[in-house]
Structure 1
Amino acid sequence: MEGSVRLRRLVHGVGAVHPARRIERCPLHRPHRGRGSGAPPCVRPDRGEGAADVAPALAPRRRAPGDGALAARRNGRARGAAARDPPPPGRRGRKARAFPGDDAEMRVTALGSGDAFCSGGRGHTCWLIDDERGTFTVDFGATALGALKRLGRDPDGIGAVHFTHLHGDHIGGWPFLLVDAVYRSRRRSPLVVSGPPGTKDRLQALWVACYAAAAERPLPFAVEVRELEPGDRVELAGRSVLAFRARHMSPPQIALSLRIGDLAFTGDAAEIAEGLCDGATLLCAECTNLGESTAEHIGWQTLRENLPAVPRVLLGHLGADARRGIAPPAGVRVCDDLDFVEL
């Protein structure tokens, strides 16, 4: 895997995602900001947003020679929709590539990279992983379904959802995932879910609160919910899942950090759990604050001084000051929505 990691930024388009293309003359192709530009929104200072919302749009970044870019346009259609649902059964449509490229074994995509406040206009942090065994996510916040549709991805392709804890920006997309499966796609394939104690009841309560009539009927597909305690090691959807206690919530509530195969996920945490990163090839870490860590969240100043020995680190759950102020060293990436790496 050494030297094989590539990072690309995806920009949504109508239907399927076009193959990445290398940009020769201009290192960054980006149209003027506005409708259809694909550029992240700027915050207007005259609107009086609070500190959580004042992160400006990211400045253009130079791409490394191996990085690609997708055209920041909507297939030339003025005011076209950002994405379309997958075509109905029996009708062919262009399909977004889910599995990594020929020279990669795995793809990790940041469906969202923001904190609970969507600071800087970014979605709730959610990680999407594709490999030869299928697709799973770590968390599924309120903005996750929309991000999948921007990629042209069918949510039915997700075989497992692993929740780190039960805060709204991590589970808020659950009822939307279900309503899409029940009424649009008519899903039949089973879905595996894991999370801390209380996950099953909380997800059902959320489903009832959002779609009470639908929740009265059985789902047309099987949902297996496995509740994990810190220290549990289980096999779920063909992968080894190891749960660690994350210092984020007050007892009796429990937050988890997860080790899934060679990937480590902090979830929301005040520190990186001991042993979480041992032998990992990639760490997806929260980094809410620019300064020191707090009692609930990791800060960049603390993390920078205690970076684990992991080849690659992706930072998500970024607050306004963290996104604006972090100058990442080699091997560390400040993620934007829809960034992905291939391993």
Structure 2
Amino acid sequence: MKVTILGSGDAFGTGGRFNTCLHVEAGPERMLLDCGGSSMVALNRAEVERNGLSTLLFTHFHGDHFGGLPAFLLDAQFVSRRKEPLTIAGPAGIEHRTLHALEAEFPGSSSNPWRFPVTYVEVTPEQPVRLGGIDVSAFPMVHDERAGPCQGYRLGFDGKVFAFSGDTAWTEALIPLTAGADVLLVECYAYDIALANHLDYGTLAAHRAELGAARIVLTHMGMNMLAHRDPLPEERAHDGMTIEL
């Protein structure tokens, strides 16, 4: 499994980073994990062949994780002229949220007769799924239920496990999410400012021993975290970073 971090930024593009967007390669499978509002720029810059993506999987419905989906769909319809089936997966309500986002960004587009088959798959903590050969398990995160359910995921393929927190404050659900994972990509919005809906580094460090991942990479860093340049035990994500499992 190979994960390319096309977007490692927060909602505001702090540090010139793209919104969250992960390109996952697992055998022949190509998946996007989140597709934030700036993701079409990131995909084009990285020269990702969009029609080769079979699945888009979302952690929650904030614009910096979900906002690129309408443009992705219209690009598939009118630019890349996709014919291959597309699976759109995510928390409960994924189909309703997709149609609502299409109407909000491009009125009338939700009724398009798509030239390619679209399948919606709800992924919940109670119902793990298999998406194109990748085993996907969801874990409830603590972020903003108005944009949720908010979830982290374990992706399993060929004996390897990649864990991604999405956006969250500290929650005990991070412990089973990370248990035995080869890599954890975890949000760390601030260094020394405690926030209700995001992780800060102090809290993460205090719970580090409870996180069972062999390798930890920090992402979704805001200004306060980016300003802290001293060495840390964990790696820090950047746009274009690749993670091989």
Using structure 2 for the length normalisation, give the TM-score: 0.90
1:223 to 1:305, Cα distance in 2 relative to 1, 3 A: same
The question of 1:315 aligning with 2:218 is answered: yes
Q: Using the aligned pairs only, state the percent identity.
A: 34
1:334 to 1:181, Cα distance in 2 relative to 1, 3 A: same
1:333 to 1:269, Cα distance in 2 relative to 1, 3 A: same
1:157 to 1:303, Cα distance in 2 relative to 1, 3 A: same
DSSP-derived class of the 1:275 partner: helix
Q: Could you tell me which residue of structure 1 aligns to residue 110 of structure 2? A: 215
- Contact kept in structure 2, 1:112 and 1:123, CA below 8 Å: yes
Q: Could you tell me which residue of structure 2 aligns to residue 27 of structure 1? A: none
- Contact kept in structure 2, 1:241 and 1:259, CA below 8 Å: yes
1:336 to 226, 238, 242: 238
DSSP-derived class of the 1:193 partner: strand
Which residues of 2 match residues 32-181 of structure 1 at below 5 A?
Answer: 106-181=1-76
Question: Which one-letter code corresponds to 1:322 in the other structure?
Answer: M
Counterparts of 1:230 and 1:122, CA distance in 2: 30
Once structures 1 and 2 are overlaid, which stretch shifts more, 300-309 or 254-263? Answer: 300-309
From the two aligned structures, give the one with the greater strand fraction. 2
Question: Which one-letter code corresponds to 1:301 in the other structure?
Answer: G
2:138 to 240, 243, 247: 243
Shift of 1:256: 0.6
Shift of 1:221: 1.0
- Contact kept in structure 2, 1:300 and 1:326, CA below 8 Å: no
Counterparts of 1:108 and 1:202, CA distance in 2: 26
Equivalent pairs, count: 237
Shift of 1:195: 1.2
The question of 1:269 aligning with 2:203 is answered: no
- Contact kept in structure 2, 1:292 and 1:302, CA below 8 Å: no
- Contact kept in structure 1, 2:6 and 2:46, CA below 8 Å: no
The question of 1:302 aligning with 2:203 is answered: yes
Gaps of 5+ in 1: 1-105
The question of 1:280 aligning with 2:192 is answered: no
1:141 to 1:188, Cα distance in 2 relative to 1, 3 A: same
Q: Could you tell me which residue of structure 2 aligns to residue 229 of structure 1? A: 124
1:290 to 1:191, Cα distance in 2 relative to 1, 3 A: same
Using structure 1 for the length normalisation, give the TM-score: 0.65
Gaps of 5+ in 2: none
Q: Could you tell me which residue of structure 2 aligns to residue 206 of structure 1? A: 101
Counterparts of 1:145 and 1:251, CA distance in 2: 25
Q: Could you tell me which residue of structure 2 aligns to residue 65 of structure 1? A: none
Counterparts of 2:205 and 2:231, CA distance in 1: 9
DSSP-derived class of the 2:185 partner: strand
Q: Could you tell me which residue of structure 2 aligns to residue 22 of structure 1? A: none
- CA deviations 1:203-261 (Å, max 9, x no partner) are 11111222334433221111111123333211122111111110112479421111111
Question: Which one-letter code corresponds to 1:200 in the other structure?
Answer: E
Question: Which one-letter code corresponds to 1:146 in the other structure?
Answer: V
Q: Could you tell me which residue of structure 1 aligns to residue 90 of structure 2? A: 195
Whichever of the two has the greater Rg, that structure is 1
- Contact kept in structure 1, 2:35 and 2:67, CA below 8 Å: yes
Shift of 1:293: 4.4
Counterparts of 1:155 and 1:241, CA distance in 2: 21
Counterparts of 1:185 and 1:139, CA distance in 2: 20
Question: Which one-letter code corresponds to 2:181 in the other structure?
Answer: A
1:293 to 1:230, Cα distance in 2 relative to 1, 3 A: farther
1:326 to 1:222, Cα distance in 2 relative to 1, 3 A: farther
- Contact kept in structure 2, 1:192 and 1:237, CA below 8 Å: no
Once structures 1 and 2 are overlaid, which stretch shifts more, 159-168 or 209-218? Answer: 209-218
- Contact kept in structure 2, 1:112 and 1:122, CA below 8 Å: yes
From the two aligned structures, give the one with the greater helix fraction. 2
1:236 to 1:224, Cα distance in 2 relative to 1, 3 A: same
